[in-house]
């Protein structure tokens, strides 16, 4: 009998009689491994009531008390690394080393949240006039709704929520229904770290839960990571219900390679950044843009054997470079995108369709696929393909490469490989992307810098992590105060705009 995965509310598992549920699969085998509870508006309402009550007390706790929990969570993450990597791999499909890499970045985000007392400080000015002092302070916004994707079951929740908790908020979290077990493990670690019951809650489910979060008057803010279509919906509906919303969405990341670059290094970087985690990353390099015919031909020769050498296998295969895509529907969508690119005139250089992994005939596997001569009118340029299909475009000049990159509706990450400082500087100044790499294939910022794209890669004025995340999870209060001496004369009546200055 398959396992049943519940919600987590008020510090313990929570289930509802005769509630809805959905299947959870192991992508490496295609087998259903468990059933996951699907919450309702009533589930979310219960979680918000619990979170609001617990959050009021947590928001009044001292910085020292809150930081003790964050420090302990970091220790527990490290101690449970192997367990968490196994859970991620089993439900997502990414390899164990890839899962541990994700967890490393999650821990980095938790470490930055240990700086919450510093980055959440207010401001102070003495005697602005008339012996009045003015100071500001940041206070938690209250209950935060978090909606996270399947592709980073622990990293995105950790970097998204740890700072929110560290500055005094409580959480109602809807993880992806494809990877629900990691959410319960993360909730368990929070409880073990000493977080008071009710501050951190998990409501499993689908769109009904999303809508309940967006509509609930008790939720002050919503943070989301996922596809652009869903992110735009969440932003519009959430703000319509008077919530602050930060939605981090799709990416179509371009890698420009100049003729003077180290082409061997660039080829390895493209393959590594393009195909890791079966290309199911919003920061993955999608399109390779070698500048000039000679650069394109040489780079193509270097890239093809590296791609053909990639090994695809189950998540626990010690020698696999990447695993399956997350679902049968994802595999079908990627195969459909390959067929579409062929119809549109793309040159299929490496074909990953029809891959068979010995012993796993029903897994959701796709071999690495590469197209050449991709143009801006093709689907492979226009849309984010969340699977191992990458493309080569052929700009003749640096200016054309910049124009192709900036023409796209997304602006998540863009990178350049070059030895020329002037080209790199121009790229940094002119490219309309939120995260830029110079000889760095995946420009994912360290946790103490802000993460977020531009254009339709982000909705709302917020960042997923970094110092600016504190602004999103707090509200400013500004206080003007004056303490007159006991024997001071009474203040006279004055109708002037600023009588105290």
Known active-site residue 146: no
CB 234 within 8 A of CB 214: yes
State the Cα angle at 375 between 371 and 381, rounded to 5°: 75
Contacts of 129 (CB under 8 A, 6+ apart): 498, 500, 501
Q: Which residues pair with 455 in a beta bridge?
A: 410
The alpha-helical segments, DSSP class H, found in 309-387 are: 328-343, 379-382
Distances in Å between the alpha carbon of 92 and those of 114, 129, 151? 29, 60, 7
Catalytic residue among 36, 114, 146, 282: 282
- Bridge-based pairing state of the strands 132-140 and 124-129: antiparallel
Tell me which residue of 451, 456, 408, 447 sits closest to 431, measured CA to CA. Answer: 408
Contacts of 499 (CB under 8 A, 6+ apart): 491
In 291-368, DSSP assigns E strands to: 347-350
* Interatomic CA distance for residues 269 and 427, integer angstroms: 18
Positions marked catalytic: 282
């Amino acid at each position: 009998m398959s396992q049943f995965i519940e919600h987590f509310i008020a510090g313990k598992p929570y289930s509802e009689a005769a509630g809805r549920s959905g299947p959870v699969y192991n992508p490496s085998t295609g087998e259903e491994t468990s059933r996951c509870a699907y919450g309702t508006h009533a589930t979310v309402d219960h979680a918000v009531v619990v979170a609001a009550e617990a959050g009021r007390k947590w928001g009044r706790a001292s910085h020292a008390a809150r930081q003790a929990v964050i420090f302990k969570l970091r220790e527990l993450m490290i101690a449970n690394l192997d367990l968490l990597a196994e859970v991620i791999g089993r439900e997502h499909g990414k390899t164990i080393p890839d899962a541990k890499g994700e967890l490393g970045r999650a821990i980095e985000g938790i470490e930055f949240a240990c700086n919450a007392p510093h980055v959440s400080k207010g401001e102070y000015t003495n005697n602005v006039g008339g012996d009045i002092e003015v100071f500001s302070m940041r206070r938690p916004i209250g209950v935060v709704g978090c909606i996270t994707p399947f592709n980073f079951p622990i990293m995105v929740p950790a970097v998204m929520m740890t700072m929110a908790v560290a500055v005094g908020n409580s959480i109602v979290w809807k993880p992806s229904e494809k990877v629900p077990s990691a959410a319960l493990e993360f909730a368990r670690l929070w409880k073990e770290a000493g977080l008071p019951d009710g501050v951190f809650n998990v409501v499993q489910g689908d769109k009904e839960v999303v809508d309940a979060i967006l509509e609930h008057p008790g939720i002050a803010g919503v943070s989301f990571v996922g596809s652009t279509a869903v992110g735009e919906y969440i932003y519009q509906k959430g703000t319509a219900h008077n919530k602050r919303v930060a939605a981090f969405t799709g990416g179509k990341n371009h890698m420009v390679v100049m003729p003077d670059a180290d082409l061997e290094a660039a080829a390895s970087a493209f393959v590594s950044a393009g195909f890791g985690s079966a290309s199911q990353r919003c920061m993955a390099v999608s399109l390779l843009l070698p500048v000039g015919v000679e650069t394109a031909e040489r780079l193509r020769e270097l890239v093809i054997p590296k791609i053909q050498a990639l090994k695809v296998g189950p998540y626990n295969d010690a020698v696999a470079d990447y695993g399956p895509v997350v679902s049968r529907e994802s595999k079908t969508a990627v195969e459909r995108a390959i067929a579409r690119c062929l119809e549109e005139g793309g040159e299929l250089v490496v074909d990953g369709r029809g891959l068979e992994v010995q012993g796993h005939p029903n897994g959701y596997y796709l071999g690495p696929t590469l197209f050449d001569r991709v143009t801006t009118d093709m689907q492979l340029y226009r849309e984010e393909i969340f699977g191992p299909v990458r493309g080569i475009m052929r700009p003749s000049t640096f200016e054309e490469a910049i124009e192709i990159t900036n023409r796209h509706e997304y602006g998540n990450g863009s990178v350049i490989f070059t030895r020329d400082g002037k080209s790199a500087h121009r790229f940094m100044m002119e490219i309309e992307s939120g995260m830029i790499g110079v000889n760095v294939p995946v420009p994912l910022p360290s946790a103490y810098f802000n993460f977020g794209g531009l254009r339709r890669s982000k909705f709302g004025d917020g960042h997923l992590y970094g110092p600016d995340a504190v602004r999103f999870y707090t509200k400013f209060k500004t206080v003007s105060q004056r303490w007159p001496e006991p024997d001071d004369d009474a203040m006279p009546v004055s109708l002037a705009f600023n009588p105290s200055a």
